[in-house]
Chains A and B, each alone.
Chain A
Amino acid sequence: MTEKPLEPMELLDRQAKYDALVEHFGRPTDPSSPEAFALHQKVMRILEGQEPDPRQNFGTAGGFSQIP
């Protein structure tokens, strides 16, 4: 029994989601800086659902949803 690898479109989709988050936070000017690696780790945690996506926190407590 063998398994199928990810389709190229799936990989491109993951790449696009990753890049969008990196751009959201601001791509570090020095890719070799500790900040660049720290940002990579943070973005991966968001993509894996371990941290909330900061672009999707509208309507949370204290936000517009609390306005009567």
Chain B
Amino acid sequence: MLPVRYRTSSGYPLISVTQVLTVQKRINAEWFTPESAWRGSTVHRLIQAFDLNLPLDIPAGLGGYLDAYAEFCAVVRPRYAHSELLVRSERWALGGRIDRVCEDLFGAPGLLDFKTGDQYPWHALQLAGYNLIRPTGNRWGCYLQANGKYKLKLYDDPQDHRKFGHDLAQAHGTVTAEGDYWIQAA
């Protein structure tokens, strides 16, 4: 069962971008382990603290990810408009949280999502979903690695938006909210 994470101001439930991709089996839950989930959320907290110049308490094993982010900031020099931006669309009955909305990343506005694991095809669709709620421009994935390096990926296939739109329509036909959870039709 998937929890209802987002609602409109009047309480109407919104499915999340990643839940759409989960319901449509683009995301395989077996890829996620408690360790990978902890690593992802902790690194997201650390890089936000880094942005805000807050003191950093880096758990063992995660220093490389932060070094990778620091190097990314130092050489690419992105200009952020928003961090960890909560976005909701009543029109699409869709919600999500965007890691960074960039005013300028390689000379143009764009959405930026950080990952601490491998690249998967659904990442392109995730960013297309965010672009649907918050039309911004380019879609970038930044893959932070334990060895202090990062890889940037520009997702530029316009078909990704069409695919996500299809998945969204299908997902809305598959799940209904009951209380705090989405119930999937058998």
B is a partner of A: yes
Please determine whether B74 and A11 come into contact, CB atoms closer than 8 angstroms.
yes
Given contacts A2-B58, A37-B154, contact A48 B74 (CB under 8 A): no
Please determine whether B107 and A36 come into contact, CB atoms closer than 8 angstroms.
yes
Please determine whether A2 and B74 come into contact, CB atoms closer than 8 angstroms.
no
Q: Which residues of B contact A11 (CB under 8 A)?
A: 70-71, 74
Q: Which residues of B contact A18 (CB under 8 A)?
A: 74-75
Please determine whether B66 and A5 come into contact, CB atoms closer than 8 angstroms.
yes
Q: Which residues of A contact B60 (CB under 8 A)?
A: 1-3
Given contacts A11-B74, A14-B74, contact A5 B56 (CB under 8 A): yes
The contact string, 1 if C-beta is below 8 Å from chain B, for chain A 3-35, is 111100001101100100000000000111100
The contact string, 1 if C-beta is below 8 Å from chain A, for chain B 52-79, is 0000111111110011001100111000
Q: Which residues of B contact A2 (CB under 8 A)?
A: 57-60
Instruction: Give 18 A-B pairs besides A5-B70, A11-B74, A32-B106 with Cβ atoms closer than 8 angstroms.
Output: A1-B59, A3-B58, A4-B58, A5-B56, A6-B67, A6-B70, A11-B71, A14-B71, A14-B74, A14-B75, A31-B106, A32-B107, A32-B108, A33-B107, A37-B106, A37-B152, A40-B152, A48-B149
